[in-house]
Chains A and B, each alone.
Chain A
């Protein structure tokens, strides 16, 4: 399902009496999300990313603008009609319900519209079909034993797993007693003819009512005006068996099958999180929305769970919007990242491009650890200066004037290095910090905006405290307009 946000705006009205201004949480946002894509809304807290998500979910009404799911406008549609799954920041699992009930709750509200099949015929036909495979059935039943004894419920479960059938059918097969019979093949033959007669009788019964069945046992009834037989549509609730099957499937995907009868407060944060995802996934939504789903987890679990989310998303191919303030999280799992600031989109790109090719100062500053180093610079005759150091020359014609110069921490090279492609800059190295693979140098420069410059060099480099000349890697240097803070390409 494609999602389109058109000029989406949300204004939270202020209070004139108290002199509080209106808050523009989301400002004219335009985002296109492709089908099956995992998109990350990234930004500092208060940038409107969650507000955007809740508008997509339908829990907040947009002030203006439109939301489209595919060809359908859903701007004013109630949340339950949008076919979305939402994982809340603190999961919002119903604390009084077991995990099973939590996951099945959305399903109990679901109505499906289907052509009616004759359930009895379907069941008989299925049993007849399965009975051809007598040996495997006996093997599965015998194999499911606990301590050498064949147990009813475990055998039924094993059959369900093996053939993906409802527990009702598998119970009936188990009751035939194939595993206990001396000659299972013979018994299967007898039973097959029995079921065949039952099936024929059922078909006759339907025909007596003036209806027909097709090959797949859809009930065909005559149209009122013509003599044509048609399938009959019916809206209905899901049956208990169906709900059970869906819940178990969702639980299997997120790997919480063992905890179904526990209450949420008996689970760890990561497990609760997975229950929340299962609850969102179980009704097979067209869109999955995740609101900072990892913020309550510890560091290790966070990495594990975010990979899990990616895996589930890839397995289900659901268009997903993922809200986060953690750049690493967004970078690692998203197909595309939308960086937001005060309700407006700053840049939308592939994760690596957002880092490699920032469109403006905000994006450059927001992404990357340690953060980008920003200097006061100047353009003079197509060359860029930081103080006295000429750090770049450009082929393009550039307007003279002051600019911001951003250099990524990994963009500095010690002079002997030959990889250097740009000019030089002299920094005063104050401290050398060893970080294993790399060295971090803490330096000072009078044109630097901020406290200390942090840069990362290879650990083989013999770095010393004191004035040092660094060469620069051209693709790690970005120039921004002083007023608009937009990128100037050189």
Chain B
């Protein structure tokens, strides 16, 4: 039976597989190949052979202008990578904890649960650029935030704002945008937990905080792992938040690139009439490697702690 119907399954899958081959698998492989080509020209496909220099250039190991050591330093190493790590390690833990907190809160109230769920899901259906503009207004020089705390004149998002201030607003913005989806996943996970475990915990005399810590969270661990992995990946790829909030990649703190993230860096390599396709490809492969390492680490660490 199974082998007979096999070809049918392939037939049904074919349209998607063909499209994916053209638009996903081929570009993936091609990116990998291009990242090793010297002086790649994307129009003609011409190149001058195999090289590791693209990686060297991205990682600042090779001098851009031969003979001048200072030209080694790239915005990738100097700004893009640190910024991306800062964004990831600030926004991911905070947004997960916050959304877990909110989801457990929503789950434990009895009245207007549906209403609260809708409220907290609103940002998800709102355009990210629109939210960015609202944030820009809130944190503007004369915006609500400054007025509220009586610190008029502090720059947060405008061009003359410091790097630190800009980063704080950027992280807040990313967390805000990340919450609704996580709350949704956690809420549905919480609803799937058998109520009897809570009854049992009550009989066992467990205080509420302990029930949450020792029973709710372990039983929610598959969802937490899923959210952790996807949001780490998402945060490493952060780019549109910078565009949405600032529409530029520099602040007053000096350098013109100090708000760059890894993906921003990759995109900026493609700008202009003569894009550095091979540099962008090398950057993408490095990002891929970083994400892979982190995902593997998370899977390893979680193996013992996640209960299915």
Chain A residues close to B by CB (< 8 Å): 57-59, 78-81, 84-86, 88, 90, 92, 94-97, 105-106, 109-110, 279-280, 283
Contacts and interface: CB of A to CB of B under 8 A. Distances in A.
B200 A86 contact: yes
Nearest to A84: B203
Give the 3 A-B CB pairs with smallest separation, nearest first: A80-B205, A96-B307, A106-B204
B202 A80 contact: yes
Contacts of B203: 57, 59, 79-80, 84-86, 106, 280
Given A94-B215, A109-B204, A88 B199 contact: yes
B194 interface: yes
Interface string B196-216: 110111111111001000110
Contacts, number: 56
A57 B210 CA distance: 20
A90 B202 contact: no
Contacts of A90: 196
Contacts of A96: 218-219, 221, 307
B200 A94 contact: yes
Contacts of A94: 197, 200, 215
- Residue with the highest number of chain A CB atoms closer than 10 Å, among B200, B206, B214: B200
B213 to A, nearest CB: 12
A57 to B, nearest CB: 6
26 contacts: A57-B203, A59-B199, A59-B203, A79-B202, A80-B203, A80-B206, A81-B205, A86-B199, A86-B200, A88-B196, A88-B200, A92-B194, A92-B196, A94-B197, A94-B200, A96-B219, A105-B204, A106-B204, A106-B205, A109-B205, A109-B206, A109-B207, A109-B210, A279-B204, A283-B204, A283-B205
Contacts of B196: 88, 90, 92
A86 B307 CA distance: 25
B197 A92 contact: yes
A58 B200 CA distance: 11
A78 B202 CA distance: 8
Contacts of B201: 105
B205 A110 contact: yes
Contacts of B204: 80, 105-106, 109, 279, 283
**Interface of A, helix, strand, loop or mixed by DSSP:** loop
Contacts of B202: 58-59, 78-80
Interface string B272-308: 0000000000000000000000000000000000010
A283 B205 CA distance: 10
A261 B180 CA distance: 39
**Interface of B, helix, strand, loop or mixed by DSSP:** helix
Interface residues of B, number: 19
A84 B199 CA distance: 13
Nearest to B305: A96
B219 A92 contact: no
Contacts of A84: 203
Contacts of A97: 218
Interface in B148-199: 194, 196-197, 199
B205 A95 contact: no
Contacts of A280: 203
B199 A92 contact: yes
Nearest to B195: A92
A88 B199 CA distance: 9
Nearest to A280: B203
- Residue with the highest number of chain B CB atoms closer than 10 Å, among A58, A78, A94, A279: A94
A79 B198 CA distance: 12
Nearest to B202: A79
- Residue with the highest number of chain B CB atoms closer than 10 Å, among A57, A79, A92: A92
A174 B197 CA distance: 42
A338 B140 CA distance: 73
A408 B215 CA distance: 51
Contacts of B205: 79-81, 106, 109-110, 283
Given A105-B206, A109-B206, A109-B210, A95 B307 contact: yes
A96 B305 CA distance: 9
A78 B204 CA distance: 11
Contacts of B221: 96
A58 B205 CA distance: 12
Contacts of A109: 204-207, 210
Contacts of A79: 202-203, 205
A59 B198 CA distance: 10
Contacts of B218: 96-97
Contacts of A279: 204
Given A85-B203, A94-B215, 12 more contacts: A80-B204, A80-B205, A81-B205, A86-B199, A88-B196, A90-B196, A92-B196, A96-B221, A96-B307, A105-B206, A106-B203, A110-B205
A283 B204 CA distance: 9
A110 B204 CA distance: 9
Nearest to A60: B199
B207 to A, nearest CB: 7
A454 to B, nearest CB: 39
